[in-house]
Chain A
Amino acid sequence: MSAPFAWPGEDVSRAPYRVYTDAELYAREQQLIFRGPTWNFVGLEAEIPNPGDFKTTFIGDAPVIVTRDAHGVTNAMVNRCAHKGSLVCYRQRGNAPELTCVYHNWTYDLAGALTGVAFRRGVGGKGGLRADFDMKAHGLQRLRVETYRGLIFATFADVTPDFADYIGAELIASIDRVLIKPLKVLGYHSQILPNNWKLYAENNKDSYHASLLHMFHNTFGVVRPTMGGGVKLSENGWHHLSYTQREALADDHIATEKVRSMQETYKLRDAGMMQHQLELGDLVTNSIQTVFPSLVVQQILNALAVRQLIPKGVDRSELIWTVLGFEDDPPDLQELRLKVNNLVGPAGLISMEDGCVGGWVQRAAKADPDAQSIMPMGVGVEPSAGSRVTEAAVRGFWQGWRACMGV
């Protein structure tokens, strides 16, 4: 057996590769992070608008049902029958007056209370449920739920602070900035990442890699003159926002902008997907916000999305992209969003690399669990105004991980 896990050193500027490959740590993360004091994104109110609507998802390894009940209340429960432990809902989504486990027809209401047990009184006076069985004690395991601007979050832990306090005022403001109106789902992507979930979580916090790994903008000379941007962090460092904003321009079309081109060789034949309709009341072009441990809120030009990260074993994860517009989008804006979405997703021209780079770390890390990755860019777990050449938010992620894991 290996020695108990210890974090190497006092700060969070290096992480041992073991964190990506150790099955024991993975099991502890399930308990201490995903079932710990964290809010986990489970869906959108727009996905379950009507009473009886449900969807299924995961928090870490735990299967979860999200419902809207007859009173309009949003509920989240562990998707596991109190009887034999079968999935109660095996469909992705649907509408039902109640939830019935097909194995033995145990039935729950949309808030998870056990309402029916098949052959409860037996048959012909024989068999059936024992007399002292307490229906009330055998509901589905309920989770605490909060909704914010149409996003539904759930937590297993009583001690998790309210969502607004959990991410802090500054980062609440950046959710307010993007999700300004009732949301409409434009579609889903699911991307299987050949790596530990934390490699993708780090990647999102890593504002340093963006222009180095993702070469699309530079290759085609479509880098907009920027007027700055930066990195913001929640006080505890767990959550972050990385953003860039552009200069004010009279004309909104990329082709008319004076673009800074590092390479003149390649030109886009059709720059339609690089257009940007300013719709959020400012000049921010890219805004990537994380909510520890598993959510990204994304604005890339007019491509809006939330990305939900689901671990699937120590060396595999699933990334669910829910691509968004607003309910009142006129057709031309929706068409623009659909075009701009060529940039992001599993086939995204500026995002696909994130699908493979984590796998490369995973494969290289395996041989030396005690060797370490280093995060030397920038200082501490501090916000960075004006520059995104920092690994502060990645260190913030490790600060959150250590706090939850108690290491």
Chain B
Amino acid sequence: MGFEDDLSLRSEIDNLCAQYAHLIDDDWLEELPGLFTRDGIYRVQTRENHDLKLPLSLIYCNGADMLADRITALRTANIYEPHVYCHMLSALRILGGEGAGWRVRSNFVVVRTMAEGSQSLFASGRYFDRIVRVEGALKFQERIAIVDSRQIDTLLVIPL
């Protein structure tokens, strides 16, 4: 059976992606680095830079520690108007096996709600993931969120 037909693998990957979104949307951000391997990469990049093959990211964490530092910073140092996200995930596809893991892509839409109630479509885009199994559990070896718009409204503090 190929990975394409492996429903239990698909469901496990789907669950990892949902868990990632729920940790953010439910404000359990401190748990987020735990979904990555220690040397895992997390990047948020605009589609503009991605398509132009330019290396710049909006957020570039090379290692789970850098992501953990970002979470600590947004809790303790950064100043911004309180807001929450709602992730809508769809179109998850396992693109292929790679080494001991899998390449996966999916789509996302993130609605941002400010404390005073105004809502906006903050970001839409695609996740490109490399997922591996570490001690029985699936983890992100790499998660790249490619946002469709080149524009970020006001600021980006909570990971997408």
Complex alpha-carbon distance, A218 and B76, angstroms? 11
What bracket does the count of chain B residues touching chain A fall in? 35 or more
Using a CB-CB cutoff of 8 Å, which residues 344-379 of chain A contact chain B? Answer: 345-347, 349, 352-353, 355-357, 359
| Interface presence of B73 (CB below 8 A) | yes
Which of B46, B70, B81 is the one whose CB lies under 8 Å from A188?
Answer: B46
Whether B49 and A192, one on each chain, are in contact in the complex, defined by CB atoms closer than 8 angstroms, is no
Q: A349-B73, A359-B154 are in contact. Are A269 and B54 (CB under 8 A)?
A: no
Which of B57, B66, B154 is the one whose CB lies under 8 Å from A194?
Answer: B154
Shortest distance from the beta carbon of B73 to any chain A beta carbon, whole Å: 5
Q: Report A-chain residues with C-beta under 8 Å of the C-beta of B52.
A: 187
For the complex of A and B, the 9 pairs showing the least CB-CB separation, nearest first, are: A187-B56, A269-B65, A355-B155, A219-B77, A346-B152, A347-B156, A187-B54, A270-B65, A187-B49
Sample of 6 A–B contacts (CB below 8 Å): A192-B153, A270-B66, A273-B66, A347-B152, A353-B79, A355-B154
Q: Report A-chain residues with C-beta under 8 Å of the C-beta of B44.
A: 347
Complex alpha-carbon distance, A96 and B73, angstroms? 46
- Residues of B at the A interface (CB closer than 8 Å) are 44, 46, 48-49, 52, 54-63, 65-66, 68-70, 72-73, 76-81, 150-157
Closest to B68 in A: A269
Interface SS, A side: mixed
Complex alpha-carbon distance, A216 and B49, angstroms? 27
Complex alpha-carbon distance, A383 and B82, angstroms? 38
Q: Report B-chain residues with C-beta under 8 Å of the C-beta of A213.
A: 79
| Interface presence of A129 (CB below 8 A) | no
Q: A266-B72, A323-B56, A342-B60 are in contact. Are A188 and B48 (CB under 8 A)?
A: yes
Closest to A194 in B: B154
Complex alpha-carbon distance, A79 and B80, angstroms? 37
Shortest distance from the beta carbon of B150 to any chain A beta carbon, whole Å: 5
What bracket does the count of chain A residues touching chain B fall in? 35 or more
Whether B55 and A338, one on each chain, are in contact in the complex, defined by CB atoms closer than 8 angstroms, is yes
| Interface presence of A334 (CB below 8 A) | yes
Complex alpha-carbon distance, A321 and B62, angstroms? 22
Task: Bits for A305-347, please: 1 = Cβ < 8 Å to B, else 0.
Answer: 0000000000000100001000000000010001101100111
Complex alpha-carbon distance, A4 and B76, angstroms? 46
| Interface presence of A280 (CB below 8 A) | no
Shortest distance from the beta carbon of A266 to any chain B beta carbon, whole Å: 6
Complex alpha-carbon distance, A185 and B46, angstroms? 15
Besides A215-B77, A347-B157, 10 other A-B contacts (C-beta < 8 A): A187-B54, A190-B152, A213-B79, A219-B77, A270-B63, A338-B57, A339-B62, A339-B66, A341-B57, A347-B155
Q: Report A-chain residues with C-beta under 8 Å of the C-beta of B49.
A: 187-188
Whether B78 and A353, one on each chain, are in contact in the complex, defined by CB atoms closer than 8 angstroms, is yes
Whether A352 and B155, one on each chain, are in contact in the complex, defined by CB atoms closer than 8 angstroms, is yes
Whether A186 and B56, one on each chain, are in contact in the complex, defined by CB atoms closer than 8 angstroms, is yes
Shortest distance from the beta carbon of B51 to any chain A beta carbon, whole Å: 11
Whether B151 and A270, one on each chain, are in contact in the complex, defined by CB atoms closer than 8 angstroms, is no
Complex alpha-carbon distance, A270 and B66, angstroms? 6
Whether A215 and B65, one on each chain, are in contact in the complex, defined by CB atoms closer than 8 angstroms, is no
